[in-house]
Structure 1
């Protein structure tokens, strides 16, 4: 509904860690998935950033710090 309301009326910025090929996991319906992707990519600029996850790195760092604190005398 959001994409249909905004389509050709205003800007939408969306981020996802899933490629379009896996979006059926989100929408559960192939036709809804195709419609959403179609509206998103029409008149769009797609930026694909293949960077490590900032949140994952911070989480690993926190776990390592907690382990270090547990092992400290």
Structure 2
């Protein structure tokens, strides 16, 4: 069973290699299982220095252990993400909240 899962992950990773850039939106917004996070880490490690990756998150790196469930995996993931990267930290109000407020004023 594990071999089949690993083969499927390897196949999916190779498919992702054809894309110049991959976007992961709202990482950490939904809680996932340890197994799902292991797949995410495998993807990050595989993608490292192979192609562009854009990640959005409401969580600062200091809280990413909530995502990866393990301090060592968290540190390794962050290490791969920040190396050769540009980090944009936006401390802005939610776009959706802003639109909702404008709509309320109009009504």
Task: Give the TM-score range, shorter chain.
Answer: 0.7 to 0.9
Who wins on radius of gyration, i.e. which is larger?
A: 1
Q: TM-score, normalization: structure 2?
A: 0.53
Label 1:61 to 1:29 Cα distance change in 2 as closer, same or farther (>3 A): farther
Structure 2 segments unaligned to the other structure (5+ residues): 1-41
How far the C-alpha of 1:58 sits from its partner, in A, is 4.7
| Separation of aligned partners in 1, 2:99 and 2:77 | 32
Larger strand fraction of residues? 2
- Offset from partner CA, 1:2-60 (integer Å, 9 cap, x none): 11111011110000000000001111100110000000000000011110012344566
Structure 1 stretches (4+) deviating beyond 2 angstroms?
55-62
How many corresponding residue pairs?
65
SS at match of 1:13: strand
Residue 95 of structure 2 aligns with which residue?
Answer: 54
Q: CA RMSD in A?
A: 1.8
Query: Residues 6-17 of structure 1: matches in 2 within 5 Å?
Result: 6-17=47-58
